[in-house]
């Protein structure tokens, strides 16, 4: 049972890391805290998306599952939305 939840947490961690890498290095978005700030916000968004997926499971049940155990779309979408909001706030204070 531990490995099941560990794998889910690891996938959310990788999604958050990938979103932070893309937004900071590929899209050159300037954020508060540089890459570490982007990573923290993307990780929070990724895990928040996982929680939303758990709460709204019936609504988003039709989305594709990775290995029939992890729905990757909610953490990915939430992480991207939070990074977008964070870059907008960061641009305002730079």
The domain locations on the chain are 2-93
- For 4-37, write each residue's pLDDT tens digit: 889 888 999 999 999 899 888 887 877 888 899 8
Name the average pLDDT for the chain. 83
Q: In this structure, is the dihedral angle defined by the CA atoms of residues 37, 13, 56 and 58, taken in order, positive or negative? A: positive
β partners of residue 66? 70
pLDDT of the residue at 61? 66
DSSP element (H, E) containing 19:
helix 2-21
What is the arithmetic mean of pLDDT over 57-78?
70
pTM summary value:
0.68
Q: Kindly tell me if the per-residue pLDDT of 59 is higher than 70.
A: no
pLDDT of the residue at 71? 72
């Amino acid at each position: 049972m531990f490995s099941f939840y560990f794998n889910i947490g690891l996938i959310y961690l990788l999604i958050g890391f990938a979103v932070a890498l893309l937004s900071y290095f590929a899209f050159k978005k300037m954020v508060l805290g540089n890459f570490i700030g982007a990573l923290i916000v993307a990780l929070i968004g990724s895990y928040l998306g996982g929680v939303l997926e758990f709460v709204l499971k019936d609504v988003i049940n039709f989305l594709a599952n990775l290995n029939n155990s992890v729905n990757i779309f909610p953490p990915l979408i939430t992480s991207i939305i939070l990074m977008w909001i964070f870059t907008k706030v960061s641009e305002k204070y730079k």
